Structure formats: structure tokens, C-alpha cells
Structure 1
Amino acid sequence: MGVSAAIATAAAQFAFSATPRLDAELLMAHALGVERNAILLDPDRYAVPATFAALVERRLDHEPIAYITGTRGFWSIDLAVGPGALVPRADSETLLIAAQAHFAGRAPATILDLGTGPGTLLLAALDEWPAQGLGVDYSPQALAYARANAATLGMADRAHLIRGSWASAIVGQFDLILANPPYIATDEQLPSEVHEHEPHAALFAGADGLDDYRILAEQLPALIAPGGAAVIEIGSTQAAPVTALLKAQGLHVALHHDYGGNARALVATHAPAT
């Protein structure tokens, strides 16, 4: 079987995925040790490697593609990811777009990423601006990926990473605060590849999915520097309740939508002086 046929056969087995063909192409590229574009341009140049079948079996067990290949592209960077670290999602790029809009024409000098995971938002922001950054996460596994990613991207001198619970150990103010907290209600049904493989501590947040927002809302006002902003990811149905939590702390809140038009990020700033 040639590479094209092997990809088509694998894709036909991945009906549970939203992107079956892409999944098969990424696995083939990973097995061959080449860029995906290379097999798209000239698949007949390659023979199907013996390792491809095992990768397909892992995907059939609903293991995330990013865990199988060990990497995921996000914004302008590639990140190493694996078990214990939340897989970066394209929708989270909305936070960087919202931050760009807030800082149009200027750059934040200091960045705080609460719940940094494998460094997703922090390192993307540091690739965007020549800032100093601090990433906080409670998971040692996630922090290990974050440190490795910072080193690979040449940002170890600008990305400082510590273990902690949200901002409980943080003193000071930051121009840009980023956060993608858990926001799934505990009884919500998730796809197998998420529920069975990704860390539950990074997904679930109590009966209504708002537990961590309640903590963050109280912590954020003291952390936002004058002229700065906190940009927080939300679930698509959570704009109203999370906005209310932030406004109750005296913050001004603006909503941003993701690539699919869903509510995805809230930008919290100190309310203008009257």
C-alpha cells in the first residue's frame, strides 16, 4: 500500500474525529519524520513506514494527535505536549488577538499567565512582544513541558515558571495577564479523547464550571497594572456569569469572539476614572 492509500485507509477509520484526513496526514508525517507539506506535495516519494500502523492504533484509542506526535502548533510557535498537559486549542488564540487589540501601538512589558500548562499563552505572548513573563501552574507535569518549551524557543531568560495555585503566591502588577482556567461543569459530557486522556484538573471546575473564575475574579484587580488588562478564556455560554463576577470586583469587561463566532475571551481592565 502506498502512502496516499494508507492515509485514506486510516482516515476512513477516524470517523470519530472532526478532522479524520488531517489526523491521518499528521500521523504519516510523524512516522516519516517529515513535514506534512512534504507528503502532500509528493506522497509517492515515500514508502509507508512500519511504525505508522501503531500510531493509527493509538488514534483509534482516541488518544489526542498532539500526544501521539508530541507537538502542537499554536499562534506563531510549536509546543511540546503530552500526558499531564492540556492540548493547546486554536480557539485560545482569541486571547492573543484580544491582547493585540488592547495594546495596539504599544507592547506590554510584563506578562503573567495563570494556569500556563505547557506554556501555551505565555510563550506565544513572549514571541509576540519583547516582555518578561511569569507562568504559574499547579501541575508539575505541565510545568516540565513549559520549561522545555521555553528552552527550545530560546525564551528561558524571559519566561519564569513557578508552581502555584492561581495568583495566591503572586505579588505585584502586570501589564498583561492571561488565563485559560478550567471551565467545564463536572457533569458535562466530553469527547473520549479529552475525557480519557487530558488532565481533569485543567478541564473541570465544579457543578457550574465557574469555581476557578470566582477565585480569579477576586485576585485580578490587585494584579492589573495601570493601563493593563487581564484576558481570560471562557466557555461559549459563560460570558454573562463570568462578566458579572468580574464587574462585581469593579472591573470593566469587554467580550471577544473566536474564529467560529463563539464567545471566547473577556478583557478585564480597571474601570475608567469618573
Structure 2
Amino acid sequence: MSSFSISPGTTLGAVLKTPPIEPLEARILLGHALQLSRVQLITQSERSLTADEANVVSSLFQRRLNGEPIAYIVGEREFYGLPFYTTPDVLIPRPETELLVELTLERLPQGGRVLDMGTGSGAIAIAIAHARPDVSITALDASTAALQVAQRNATRHGARVSFVRSNWFESLPPERFDVIVSNPPYIVQNDPHLAQGDLRFEPADALTDHADGLSALRTIIRGAPDYLAPGAWLLMEHGYDQAPAVRDLLAKDGFHAVQSWQDLAGIERASGGHR
């Protein structure tokens, strides 16, 4: 791919008028580079870029042209109304995962306990903690790098979350939770989507189980009963076509009120049940 560059002296308005990338993405990157808000980009549209500014903006645009996700370029992504630090060590938080937060909040008793499995950036756990400061939250991940990002995000938002390095239940101390929630890797190995778009840049182990897409879900379902309080819920995100298989796994393992919930696109995105 040929390199892209912006000439010094180009106005902000001109940069945004015919960008080489999507206009919204151009505004985000230009605002990030110059530390300007959307309104400031409009009111300062006649401002000319210095040589240093032109080099920085050109570099950011080139990274996007190379396919790098916006969230990694600017270093953060909004989730449940909160900004989260986002690095290539963690999945980029996505709007459809907010469904898990809503489902958890609906089922949490006062002073309840939550376990977030495979926390990544900590988005789910921290969003819950922000909305319900009365609850106790434990979040685990097998990745030390991911847990470091999650801890930064917890500190950023003053969220009280206990982080544990554990490969699913392996290193988790005995405890009972009112809700176990998880967005585990569920993409089937060799799925062509893994080589497309933003997924090319995200951590593979957080996207795919390197198997049939259900192995992590099976592990969680089988291990959850030892950590669920009476009547507690297990809630999990899964692929767009996996809801029937996940409901079957839950039912066979003795869960009750097994059901699936649709995201805003009308896709059965999460399933769960209680003991």
C-alpha cells in the first residue's frame, strides 16, 4: 500500500473534507492528534497544520489505512457510557456486550457478588461496579497483560474490583456468587472472519477457543455450579448462531429457566440459566 501524507499548512477543514478514510474516523483521529473536541474541529476549521502536526496526523491516518482498529490507535473505546483504555492485549469492547451488563444488573441482589470470567479490559466488571457500588466483584483472566489493562481501567473509574489471574476456574479461590458473567472466546477455529477487519489485530486467544467455538462455554457451564449461590445466574455471550447449542449445554447440566436474549440487532447474543 502506498504511503499517505498530509502537507503542512493544510487546514483542518480540508483534511476532513476529502479524507482517505471514513469521515467519522477522520474526525476521531484528527481530534485525538490535536487534542481537540468535535466542536473545536468545526470552529477551528481554517486552522493550518504545522509540520509536526501534519506528520502526526499522517501517521495516524496511515495506521488506519493499514487496517489497525481506531480503538487501538487512540487507545480507548467507550463501553456502557464509560471510556476504557484499550490496547492490543485486550478485546475491543463492543456495544452488543452491554447486554450482559444489563442482564447482570437486573439479577443482582443488594450487596450481591459477581464473577466476571475472562475480563479482558475489565469493561463488564467495571461497568457493573460503576452502576452498583454496593456489590462485590471478582474478575479473572488468564492474561497478565490483560489484567494490567483492567486494573488501569478500574483505577480510572474508581471501581472496586478484585482481579485474579486464573485460567477459568483453575486458580479461583472457593466462593459463591449471585451472578457469573462471561464473554469468552467463541469463534470457531479457522473462521475466515478472524483474518478480516479489526479481528486481525485483536488477541486471538480472546476471540477463538481454537476448537469448535463451544469449548470455553462448556468449561464455564460445567464449573459454574461449584461457585454459584442457590438460585444464582450464569450469563454468557456467544456467537450469532450458537444460542441453541448453548441452551442445550445449560439444560443438560441442570440449569433452570434456560433462555437466550437478543441484542439491539435482534440477534440471540447471550444465554443463561440459574441453579
The verdict on how the C-alpha distance between 1:207 and 1:53 changes in structure 2, with shifts beyond 3 A counting, is same
Equivalent in 178, 181, 187 of residue 178 of structure 1: 181
The DSSP-based 3-state class of the residue aligned with 2:190 is coil
The DSSP-based 3-state class of the residue aligned with 1:237 is coil
Deviation at 1:255, TM superposition (A): 1.0
The DSSP-based 3-state class of the residue aligned with 1:168 is coil
The DSSP-based 3-state class of the residue aligned with 2:270 is strand
Distance in 2 (CA, whole Å) between partners of 1:185 and 1:42 is 48
Give the aligned partner of residue 235 of structure 1: 239
Equivalent in 141, 149, 155 of residue 151 of structure 1: 155
- The 5 A counterparts of 1:121-270 are 121-130=124-133, 131-155=135-159, 158-170=160-172, 171-190=174-193, 192-252=196-256, 253-270=258-275
The verdict on how the C-alpha distance between 1:201 and 1:174 changes in structure 2, with shifts beyond 3 A counting, is same
Equivalent in 52, 59, 62 of residue 64 of structure 2: 59
Q: 1:76 touches 1:127 (CA, 8 Å); kept in 2? A: no
The verdict on how the C-alpha distance between 1:45 and 1:110 changes in structure 2, with shifts beyond 3 A counting, is farther
Which one has the largest radius of gyration? 2
Give deviations 1:74-110, integer Å, cap 9, x for gaps.
003111011111111111001112223334xx44521
Q: 1:183 touches 1:235 (CA, 8 Å); kept in 2? A: yes
Structure 2, unmatched stretches of 5+, are 1-9
Which has the higher mean CA deviation after the structures are superposed, 60-69 or 164-173? 164-173
- The 5 A counterparts of 1:59-98 are 59-98=64-103
Give the aligned partner of residue 17 of structure 1: none
* Divergent runs of 4+, >6 A: none
Distance in 1 (CA, whole Å) between partners of 2:82 and 2:200 is 27
Deviation at 1:46, TM superposition (A): 4.6
Deviation at 1:247, TM superposition (A): 1.1
Deviation at 1:36, TM superposition (A): 3.4
Q: Residue 114 in 1 paired to residue 141 in 2? A: no
Which has the higher mean CA deviation after the structures are superposed, 168-177 or 72-81? 168-177
Distance in 1 (CA, whole Å) between partners of 2:46 and 2:151 is 37
Q: 2:247 touches 2:272 (CA, 8 Å); kept in 1? A: no
Q: Residue 44 in 1 paired to residue 45 in 2? A: yes
Equivalent in 27, 37, 59 of residue 35 of structure 1: 37
Distance in 1 (CA, whole Å) between partners of 2:224 and 2:47 is 53
Q: Which amino acid aligns with 1:113?
A: D
The verdict on how the C-alpha distance between 1:79 and 1:30 changes in structure 2, with shifts beyond 3 A counting, is same
Q: Which amino acid aligns with 1:9?
A: T
Deviation at 1:37, TM superposition (A): 4.7
Deviation at 1:128, TM superposition (A): 1.1
Distance in 1 (CA, whole Å) between partners of 2:28 and 2:74 is 8
The verdict on how the C-alpha distance between 1:235 and 1:38 changes in structure 2, with shifts beyond 3 A counting, is farther
Deviation at 1:43, TM superposition (A): 4.7
Percentage of matched positions with identical amino acids: 32
Across the two proteins, how many residue pairs are aligned to each other?
Answer: 258
The DSSP-based 3-state class of the residue aligned with 1:213 is helix
The verdict on how the C-alpha distance between 1:129 and 1:53 changes in structure 2, with shifts beyond 3 A counting, is same
Distance in 2 (CA, whole Å) between partners of 1:7 and 1:102 is 45
Distance in 2 (CA, whole Å) between partners of 1:84 and 1:132 is 25
Distance in 2 (CA, whole Å) between partners of 1:152 and 1:258 is 28
Structure 1, unmatched stretches of 5+, are 15-19
